[in-house]
Structure 1
Amino acid sequence: MKSKKLTALILVGMLLGILVGYLFRQHAGDDAAAIKSFVDGMSILTDIFLRLIKMIIAPLVISTLVVGIAKMGDAKSVGRIGGKTMGWFIGASLVSLTLGLIMVNILKPAWR
């Protein structure tokens, strides 16, 4: 039940973001100064949000790994899991890097 509530809150947040963006665009029109002012104000909130997420991720991942390794006990199984983890990490990194390079070459965001 809690998962459904969180999903609903995320969807409401997305819809509110779309609505605020649409209403602001209707209000500001093509006024570049108003748009820049709004974007600068919103960027403070997004920076705070992203920094909070980054602050939480590293301790969460490290503590999860430490607890997982502590519960395993056997050094052989820890090594096997560690090897699989490194394989998945390297594989996911290569896939994301390749996908990013392909998308940059297709969309060329810096050349527009």
Structure 2
Amino acid sequence: MIENNIILRVGCIDCGHFFDADLLALYRVRGGEFSLIGQTCTCRLTICRGTGYFVAARSMNEPLSTLTRGGNDPLNLGGLNAADLEPPTPPEPSGGRHGSVSRFVHHIATRATAA
């Protein structure tokens, strides 16, 4: 998986969140013979702590597959790909970079004169 640059994520069956999984760290801890097929882990969200399943794809634009025995899909991925899990691009601030700095400086100056 490492040599093929496989995209690896963990999806929680309880809360529905997905997280990156570090293949190199797994290799260092478990070794090269360890298989992720059928393995689960605990969700990273403190308030959830549900069951996480490993999912993988060959590239960002190919469908993810849940790494389970027998081909079942407890996460119901339905053709979801890794790119679908990326956060959206943040919008450009109105007024540009300097506009937001100007508003911040004005806000601080207003607070200082009011005090």
* Interval of TM-score (by shorter of Structure 1 and Structure 2): under 0.3
TM-score using structure 1 length: 0.25
Of the two structures, which has the highest relative contact order with CA contacts closer than 8 Å and spacing of 6 or more? 2
Q: Structure 2 length normalisation: TM-score?
A: 0.24
Q: Could you say which structure has the higher strand fraction?
A: 2
**Which is helix-richer, 1 or 2?**
1
